[in-house]
């Protein structure tokens, strides 16, 4: 584990007593340390990185092969930094996860700024892989959303979580109790028809619901604390990272069919009436965020299914919906293909 301070170590379960810290520097004979030092610089961290010369605190999955970096504050989103460092020729030494404890440098969908609230989970992860891009690439954006849902099911209990309305609002918002519990970003790097690296940014409102800017396409925020005794941050991080690894291993071994099915089962839009607007509508809202001020949607209808590339099928319409900003319109219809 690599931290920016003893305070960050204590925030994730380490007591700091008698812990030896070794400064991490870029060295050719230490690939993991070299990568971490360059990633630290790319995150615009104000101070040095320190390796914890001790066992990983209980609850964090360092014993499952993850290199964990814990940052109190970052100047640049680790999700962005991970992609930049690997693009510059710094190959991953293995699965790497950055846990950010606070700050305003994170980013959400469409590049929106996101504040890391204390007690909530903010992870940026990168995993090396070797996947057929044509086979697995179209469904890859489902992986982090499914993993986050499965982690919540593990933390809260599968049946209680589903009874509370856990699911995915297209494309990548994780919902609980009719509110936004979290969200994910996903990217990949390909070389010669193979996916070589997967990147995921994951946010989970564990302790509190952050204040969000008004947005006609976003649900109000909700936290796990609203429906259960919230887990400790290390436990939440461990659950999410474990499910990411498990999902990647299943995708590698068996292809995308199981991942697609897991996403469909958790979809909150199948069987619902939706409106979909061109993504540029976010830039053309002169009358503010009130949904009543939106123009008519570009597409409207009941969702009958979701294709492996995440395109929506609408009842009575031949052309799938491939992108855009979606609102649930309230109507419900049949939901073929959902279990």
pLDDT tens-digit readout, 145-190: 999 999 999 999 999 999 999 999 999 999 999 999 999 999 999 9
Ramachandran assignment for 278, one of left (phi > 0), alpha (psi -120 to 50 degrees), beta (any other): beta
User: What is the arithmetic mean of pLDDT over 42-61?
Assistant: 79
State which CATH number among 3.30.450.20, 1.25.40.10, 1.20.1050.10, 3.30.930.10 fits the domain covering 2-266: 3.30.930.10
289/217 Cα distance (integer angstroms): 9
| Predicted confidence (pLDDT) at residue 133 exceeds the cutoff of 90 | yes
Domain boundaries, the chain: 2-266, 272-332
Rg (CA), the chain: 20
| Partners of 28 in the β-ladder | none
SS3 171: coil
pTM comes to: 0.92
Q: Which residues contact 235 (CB under 8 A, 6 or more apart)?
A: 59, 155
43/258 Cα distance (integer angstroms): 35
Contact status, residue 297 vs residue 128, Cβ threshold 8 Å: no
């Amino acid at each position: 584990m690599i931290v920016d301070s003893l305070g960050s170590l204590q925030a994730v379960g380490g007591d700091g007593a008698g812990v030896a810290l070794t400064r991490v520097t870029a060295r050719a004979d230490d690939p993991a340390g070299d990568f971490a030092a360059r990633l630290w610089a790319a995150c615009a961290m104000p101070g040095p990185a320190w390796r914890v010369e001790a066992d990983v605190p209980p609850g964090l999955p360092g014993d499952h092969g993850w290199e964990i970096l814990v940052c109190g504050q970052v100047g640049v989103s680790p999700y962005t930094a991970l992609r930049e460092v690997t693009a510059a020729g710094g190959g991953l030494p293995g699965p790497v996860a950055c846990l950010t404890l606070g700050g305003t440098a994170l980013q959400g969908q469409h590049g929106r700024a996101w504040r890391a609230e204390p007690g909530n989970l903010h992870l940026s992860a990168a995993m090396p892989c070797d996947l057929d891009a044509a086979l697995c690439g179209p469904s890859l954006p489902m992986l982090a959303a499914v993993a986050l849902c499965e982690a919540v099911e593990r933390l809260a209990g599968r049946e209680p979580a589903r009874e509370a309305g856990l699911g995915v609002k297209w494309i990548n918002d994780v919902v609980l109790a009719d509110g936004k519990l979290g969200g994910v970003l996903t990217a990949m790097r390909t070389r010669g028809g193979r996916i070589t690296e997967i990147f995921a940014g994951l946010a989970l409102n564990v302790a509190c619901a952050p204040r969000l800017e008004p947005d006609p396409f976003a649900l109000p925020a909700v936290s796990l604390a609203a429906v259960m005794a919230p887990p400790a941050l290390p436990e939440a991080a461990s659950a999410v990272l474990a499910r990411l690894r498990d999902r990647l291993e299943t995708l590698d071994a068996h292809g995308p069919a199981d991942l697609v099915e897991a996403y469909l089962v958790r979809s909150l839009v199948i069987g619902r009436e939706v409106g979909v607007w061109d993504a540029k509508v976010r830039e053309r809202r002169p009358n503010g965020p009130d949904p009543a001020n939106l123009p008519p949607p570009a597409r409207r209808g009941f969702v009958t299914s979701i294709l492996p590339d995440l395109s929506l099928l609408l009842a009575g319409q031949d052309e799938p919906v491939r992108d855009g900003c979606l609102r649930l319109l309230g109507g419900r219809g049949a939901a073929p293909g959902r279990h």
